[in-house]
């Protein structure tokens, strides 16, 4: 890992993002979080009148549905932003005509993607912190948070998001499509990753699918530390599971990405 | 030295047939061998679809060849593309390959980071490059506000930011005005002859190739069909010699005498009188004979020279033959 290259990519991306997307983009992202929370609040309070099914507590170890949804939604926002920034990075280079210049340079891909990941982590963390304050009136209670467990879970979850974004990046670069692939995946992840309800409510086959997506366990880790106060020692098995699953995604992603890059370069004037 | 032997590249392309798609193999490059020595400018010519771009992409390691051998300074370029990337760079025509949202300085700085150039060296080099491409004073201006020529100048600076040993120039002067094109040509010469860089140049401007290239490779349909210097290519293509002879006070008698003598030497000779003098097309070299005849006959020569075919004529002739 070369720090000079990593810092170069980080600085370039921050400058590009700052110039390309003014404050409205930042506000738009916060509003997305707010709308998701608001939607869940209306559903819970007005449609279901604050009633939860009897097995909700058994599955989630909490009766705080609003806290459950808010943490899930804000984590999902992180997933979306990681996918938008990391997965779209190479196809954006292709569209802007800089892919060849980039590929001519002797850097490692891991430095490039990590640089992109770091930028999005910094900007999204700022957005999430603001969103957290907005979410408090809707019933978010973080008084039980286990800080050390939360920090470890946060980084493990980031690793999971990175793995998924690598696979999505391959699909985008190969198909040269961003809209259909990203929106389909986002809708699928929202449905199966336990963002607004436990995955056990899903049909059995979809529940099995959800278990093979590292984001599902990543969301559980964030919730368990932020809402239930679980510590590192309580979550070792989950950490291991997310780490192994995400590593598989990353290895497959990097392997396939090489082929996708070549296919993309072949298509330029080819 | 760059040595490429029997390079081939086959693409798999999906072709739509109604609702179904079918995979087709397209052989963009069938068999190309070439060499680029440091200090030399090598031209790569061919009509559209000849395989020039694919060849450049293979030589710059952007694409892996389907078959063939490619070495750069004895390094296996196919096996170790990263080692090759450290020694090369490419400048293509047009306004791409730079980030429009960054300033000129930020662009060069960013690419410098990707090449892992120490920051103190990079800062000095960037200053020199801005001087060289005439962008001094525009360092902190966002590229999106640049004119086409300025973007192209910046792209040239980007291509030199890692001080490459070999430089690939793919239509570098396309869309540039005459002044910038001339400056670029002068700089390309300087890089090759003074800084000992190996340069591969493709261009649709024959004058550019003729002016710059020490050696030329000509491609057609993915195959190397001819190679040589401009003169060698002309000699291979045009087997007859052309002369222009201009004699003071040319009369019909002088012309008749000249025709009789030349026909006796070469019966296939073609002679025609035009405003600028007598044009002679012969099978063999005739410059000595022509000057001897004029001396013996006491004709005063105003002009006598062999007319070399230009590269454009040569390429057109070769294109007709293939």
Determine whether the interchain pair B106/A102 forms a contact, defined as Cβ–Cβ distance below 8 Å: no
pLDDT of residue A64: 83
pLDDT in tens, A174-214: 887 878 888 888 899 999 999 888 888 999 999 999 999 99
Hey, what long-range contacts does A120-124 have (CB within 8 A, 24 or more apart)? A120/A81, A120/A82, A120/A84, A120/A85, A120/A86, A121/A82, A121/A158, A122/A14, A123/A17, A123/A26, A123/A81, A124/A29, A124/A77, A124/A78, A124/A81, A124/A82
Q: How many Cβ pairs closer than 8 A exist between chain A and B?
A: 88
Whole-angstrom distance, CA of residue B261 vs CA of residue B256: 9
Give the residue, A215 or B284, on which the prediction is more confident: A215
Task: Give the C-alpha distances (Å, rounded to integers) separating B282 from B275, B279, B312, B313.
Answer: 20, 10, 21, 18
The ipTM of this complex is 0.83
Whole-angstrom distance, CA of residue B234 vs CA of residue B239: 8
Determine whether the interchain pair A262/B64 forms a contact, defined as Cβ–Cβ distance below 8 Å: yes
Closest CA to A96 of B58, B139, B62, B143: B143
* Region of poorest pLDDT, from A18-22, A164-168, B299-303: A18-22
Please, is B37 exposed, middle or buried when counting C-beta atoms within 10 Å of its C-beta (0-12, 13-18, 19+)? middle
Q: Are strands B67-72 and B2-17 parallel, antiparallel or unpaired?
A: antiparallel
CA atoms within a 13 Å half-sphere pointing along the CA-CB vector of A57? 5
Partner residue facing B111 (CB), from A20, A100, A105: A105
B99 and chain A: CB distance < 8 Å anywhere? yes
Identify from B26, B84, B99, B172 which residue to disrupt to test chain A contact, counting A C-beta atoms within 10 A and taking the largest count: B99
Whole-angstrom distance, CA of residue A86 vs CA of residue A90: 8
* Region of poorest pLDDT, from A35-49, A159-173, B268-282: A35-49
Predicted confidence band of residue A69 (pLDDT cuts 50, 70, 90): confident
A3 and chain B: CB distance < 8 Å anywhere? no
Domain membership of residue B262 (yes or no) is yes
Chain B positions touching A96 (Cβ under 8 A) are 96, 99-100
pLDDT of residue A56: 84
Task: State which residues form the domain around A130.
Answer: 3-269
Give residues with Cβ within 8 angstroms of A94, minimum separation 6.
A173, A176, A264, A268
Predicted confidence band of residue A58 (pLDDT cuts 50, 70, 90): confident
Whole-angstrom distance, CA of residue A264 vs CA of residue A233: 45
Predicted confidence band of residue B140 (pLDDT cuts 50, 70, 90): very high
Predicted confidence band of residue A54 (pLDDT cuts 50, 70, 90): confident
Q: Provide the edge-to-edge strand list for the sheet that holds B270-274.
A: B270-274, B277-282, B241-247, B301-306
Whole-angstrom distance, CA of residue A243 vs CA of residue A223: 17
The mean pLDDT of chain B is: 88
Chain B positions touching A5 (Cβ under 8 A) are 113-114, 116
Nearest chain A residue to B9 by CA: give it: A266
Chain B positions touching A116 (Cβ under 8 A) are none
Give me B223's structure tokens: 């195959």
Domain membership of residue B95 (yes or no) is no
pLDDT in tens, B219-230: 888 888 888 888
Give residues with Cβ within 8 angstroms of A158, minimum separation 6.
A78, A82, A117, A121
Whichever domain contains B285, its CATH number is 3.30.70.100
Mean pLDDT of A6-30: 82
- Kindly write down the DSSP assignment for every residue of B299-314, as one continuous string: PPEEEEEE-PPPHHHH
Report the predicted TM-score, pTM, of the whole model to 2 decimal places. Answer: 0.81
Closest CA to A130 of A205, A226, A34, A237: A34
DSSP classification of residue B249: T
Name the CA radius of gyration of chain B, rounded: 25
pLDDT of residue A148: 95
Mean pLDDT of B276-281: 88
Determine whether the interchain pair A100/B82 forms a contact, defined as Cβ–Cβ distance below 8 Å: no
Count Cβ atoms below 10 Å from residue A138 Cβ, excluding itself.
Answer: 17
Whole-angstrom distance, CA of residue A50 vs CA of residue B146: 59
> Is A269 a residue whose pLDDT tops 60?
no
Whole-angstrom distance, CA of residue B248 vs CA of residue B273: 14
A16 and chain B: CB distance < 8 Å anywhere? yes
Whole-angstrom distance, CA of residue B100 vs CA of residue A127: 27
A136 and chain B: CB distance < 8 Å anywhere? no
Give residues with Cβ within 8 angstroms of B244, minimum separation 6.
B276, B277, B278, B279, B280, B303, B304, B305, B307
Predicted confidence band of residue A136 (pLDDT cuts 50, 70, 90): confident
> ∠ CA A137-A139-A141 to the nearest 5 degrees?
110
Predicted confidence band of residue B102 (pLDDT cuts 50, 70, 90): very high
Identify from A9, A93, A101 which residue to disrupt to test chain B contact, counting B C-beta atoms within 10 A and taking the largest count: A101
Task: State which residues form the domain around B264.
Answer: 240-310
Whole-angstrom distance, CA of residue A63 vs CA of residue A43: 16
Domain membership of residue B205 (yes or no) is no
* Cβ-contact B157, B130 below 8 angstroms: yes
Give the residue, A268 or B71, on which the prediction is more confident: B71
Determine whether the interchain pair A15/B85 forms a contact, defined as Cβ–Cβ distance below 8 Å: no
Considering its fold, how many domains does chain A have in total?
1
Identify from A105, A108, A259 which residue to disrupt to test chain B contact, counting B C-beta atoms within 10 A and taking the largest count: A105
* Cβ-contact B245, B287 below 8 angstroms: no
Domain membership of residue B297 (yes or no) is yes
> Is B161 a residue whose pLDDT tops 90?
yes
Considering its fold, how many domains does chain B have in total?
1
Predicted confidence band of residue B93 (pLDDT cuts 50, 70, 90): confident
pLDDT in tens, B23-43: 788 888 999 999 999 999 999
Determine whether the interchain pair A270/B11 forms a contact, defined as Cβ–Cβ distance below 8 Å: yes
pLDDT of residue A252: 95
The mean pLDDT of chain A is: 87
A96 and chain B: CB distance < 8 Å anywhere? yes
B78 and chain A: CB distance < 8 Å anywhere? no
* Region of poorest pLDDT, from A161-170, A176-185, B11-20, B200-209: B11-20
> Is B285 a residue whose pLDDT tops 60?
yes
Partner residue facing A15 (CB), from B63, B92, B106: B106
Whole-angstrom distance, CA of residue A252 vs CA of residue A236: 24
Give me B64's structure tokens: 């892996």
CA distance A244 to chain B (A): 30
Give the residue, B298 or B49, on which the prediction is more confident: B298
Predicted confidence band of residue A268 (pLDDT cuts 50, 70, 90): low
CA distance B74 to chain A (A): 18
B96 and chain A: CB distance < 8 Å anywhere? yes
pLDDT-above-70 percentage for chain B? 99
Determine whether the interchain pair A96/B90 forms a contact, defined as Cβ–Cβ distance below 8 Å: no
Nearest chain A residue to B117 by CA: give it: A4
Which SS3 state, helix, strand or coil, does residue B49 take?
coil
């Amino acid at each position: 890992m070369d720090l000079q290259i990593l810092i170069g990519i980080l600085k370039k991306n921050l400058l590009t993002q700052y110039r390309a997307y003014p404050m409205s983009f930042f506000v738009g992202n916060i509003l997305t979080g707010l709308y998701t929370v608001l939607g869940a609040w209306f559903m819970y309070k007005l449609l279901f009148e604050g009633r939860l099914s009897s097995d909700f507590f058994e599955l989630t170890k909490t009766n705080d549905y609003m806290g459950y949804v808010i943490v899930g939604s804000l984590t999902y926002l992180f997933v979306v932003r990681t996918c938008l920034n990391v997965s779209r990075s190479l196809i954006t280079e292709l569209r802007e005509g800089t892919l060849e210049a980039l590929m001519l340079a002797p850097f490692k891909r891991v430095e490039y993607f990590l640089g992109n990941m770091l930028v999005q982590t910094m900007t999204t963390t700022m957005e999430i912190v603001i969103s957290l304050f907005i979410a408090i009136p809707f019933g978010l209670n973080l008084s039980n948070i286990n800080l050390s467990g939360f920090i470890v879970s946060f980084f493990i979850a980031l690793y999971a998001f990175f793995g998924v974004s690598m696979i999505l990046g391959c699909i985008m670069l190969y198909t040269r499509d961003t809209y259909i692939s990203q929106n389909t995946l986002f809708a699928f992840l929202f449905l199966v990753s336990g963002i607004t309800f436990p995955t056990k409510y899903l049909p059995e086959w979809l529940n099995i699918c959800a278990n093979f997506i590292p984001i599902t366990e990543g969301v559980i880790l964030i919730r368990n530390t932020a809402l239930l106060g679980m510590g590192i020692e309580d979550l070792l098995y989950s950490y291991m599971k997310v780490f192994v699953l995400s590593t598989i995604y990353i290895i497959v992603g990097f392997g396939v990405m090489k082929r996708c890059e070549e296919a993309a370069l072949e298509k330029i004037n080819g | 030295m760059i040595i490429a032997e029997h390079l081939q590249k086959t693409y798999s392309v999906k072709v739509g047939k109604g609702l179904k798609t079918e995979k087709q193999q397209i052989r963009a490059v069938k068999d190309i061998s070439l060499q680029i020595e440091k200090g030399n400018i090598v031209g790569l010519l061919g009509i559209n679809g000849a395989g020039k771009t694919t060849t450049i992409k293979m030589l710059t390691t952007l694409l892996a060849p389907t078959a063939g051998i490619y070495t750069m300074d004895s390094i296996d370029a196919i096996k170790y593309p990263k080692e090759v990337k450290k020694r090369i760079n490419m400048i293509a025509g047009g306004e791409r390959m730079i980030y429009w949202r960054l300033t000129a300085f930020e662009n060069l700085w960013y690419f410098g980071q990707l090449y892992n150039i120490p920051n103190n060296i990079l800062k000095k080099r960037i200053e020199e490059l801005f001087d060289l491409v005439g962008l001094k004073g525009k360092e902190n201006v966002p590229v999106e506000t640049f004119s086409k020529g300025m973007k192209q100048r910046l792209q040239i600076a980007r291509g030199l930011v890692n001080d490459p040993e070999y430089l690939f120039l793919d239509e570098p002067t396309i869309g540039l005005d005459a002044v910038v094109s001339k400056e670029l040509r002068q700089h390309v010469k300087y890089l090759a002859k003074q800084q000992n860089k190996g340069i591969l140049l493709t261009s649709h401007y024959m004058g550019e190739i003729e002016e710059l290239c020490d050696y030329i490779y000509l491609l057609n349909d993915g195959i190397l069909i001819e190679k040589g210097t401009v003169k060698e290519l002309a000699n291979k293509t045009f087997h007859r010699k052309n002369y222009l002879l201009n004699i003071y006070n040319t009369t019909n008698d002088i012309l008749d005498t000249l025709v009789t003598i030349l026909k006796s030497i070469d019966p296939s000779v073609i002679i025609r009188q035009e405003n600028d003098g007598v044009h002679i097309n012969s099978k063999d070299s005739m410059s000595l004979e022509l000057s001897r005849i004029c001396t013996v006959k006491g004709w005063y020569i105003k002009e006598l020279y062999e007319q070399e075919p230009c590269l454009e004529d040569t390429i057109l002739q070769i294109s007709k033959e293939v």
